[in-house]
Amino acid sequence: MSEATSPLPRLVAEALGAAVLVLIGVGTAVMTGGDLVATALAFGLALLVMVAAVGHVSGGHFNPAVSLGAALAGRLSWRDTMLYWPAQVLGGLAGGLTLWVLLQGFPGAGTELPVGYNGFGDQSPGDYAWWAALLLEIVLTALLVTVVLAATDARQPHPALAPVAIGLALTGIHLASIPATGTSVNPARSIGAGVFAGPDAIAQLWLFILAPMLGGLAAGLLVPLLLGAGVRRAGAADGWTAGEGGAVGGTGVDEAAASGAAPAGAAAAGAASHEWPESWPDPGPPREWGQPAKADDAAPWRPPAGAVGDISPAEREPAPDEAGFPPPPNEPYWSQQLQRDWGALPDLEHLTDAGDLDEGSADPDEDDDGRTQIRPNDAG
């Protein structure tokens, strides 16, 4: 199985992103004593950086709720969704374990994380009620997943800004909800921290698994209905900038390409790979509009269809002189026009011998203004 179709690189990317999110976000909360702004920025920046770093590999979810919303919106296959969920949870646990081990370097460090986990009631920073915590996490997770799906939509004119939009959205969500629940919006993040925060935090994990998944469910169903199903972006290998199997909400590999099936059309073929499909004709070297062709691939100039003679564009029709008269007949355009319309030019010496020249004039058929008029030989 090739690297392009193997799920292993994508699963590793998802686990790594979830681990970094817990390590940096929860670690900042612990190190700063739960500082609101520092913790919010840490979570947002960690997500921004990891989406930009490995989003092209897996789609950059790092969150089971995002994967659920992406699957419902048609961005991710259900097979990959089922693989992503355990990878993300294991990544969160790995990040939490790494943080817990590092904290043992402080004198008197306990066996439980002091802050950074999620909770409600007496486990909440503000003694927040469970029903309000449930509703808050559903709404904020739906908001986050909506931003993810909208920022990576195929119609998005600036797809490179998707990591910035997603990271800033998570920062704002943390600023708005850390005093209430500690901010989850991500079951993998809650599990990764809660397991190392003691039995009371573990007992409340159900809410921070259920609520984010309900939020992802709502966003995955509503976003295509409200914003339209613009879910494909050319180049499934683009990760978060691609469509099915490739957006944030994608896998990085198109299903048709992974199965070896032929694409249904140009859009499907373009989404399967950046490479030019073998079934398409070779387009030749790329050429900018309005730019001259290269010497090695340019055909010689030919007149437009229906034209007579090989008259180049530079010789097509010279501008008239100041008096408005056309150029004299010895210029290339006129001489070629005469040959095209009348055939060979008449033999002036023969006309002189035949007496076709006016008496007293050294030039054939010279007008008063001195211009020579060459006419068809009626006798011929």
- Please name the amino acid found at residue 265: G
Buried b (16+ CB within 10 A) or exposed e, 164-181: ebbbbbbbbbbbebbebb
Q: How far apart are CA 191 and CA 95, in angstroms?
A: 10
- Tell me the CATH number for domain 8-260: 1.20.1080.10
Q: How far apart are CA 239 and CA 138, in angstroms?
A: 26
Output Rg (C-alpha) for the chain, integer angstroms.
37
| Token duo for residue 65 | 């709720």
N residues, the chain: 380
* pLDDT digits (tens), the chain, 380 positions: 445 568 999 999 999 999 999 999 999 999 999 999 999 999 999 999 999 999 999 999 999 999 999 999 999 999 999 999 999 999 999 999 999 999 999 998 888 999 999 999 999 988 999 999 999 999 999 999 999 999 998 888 888 999 999 999 999 999 999 999 999 999 999 999 999 999 999 999 999 999 999 999 999 999 999 888 654 443 333 333 333 334 444 544 443 333 333 333 333 334 444 455 555 555 555 544 444 444 444 555 555 554 545 555 555 555 555 666 655 555 454 444 544 445 555 555 555 554 444 444 445 555 555 555 555 555 44
CATH 1.20.1080.10 positions along the chain are 8-260
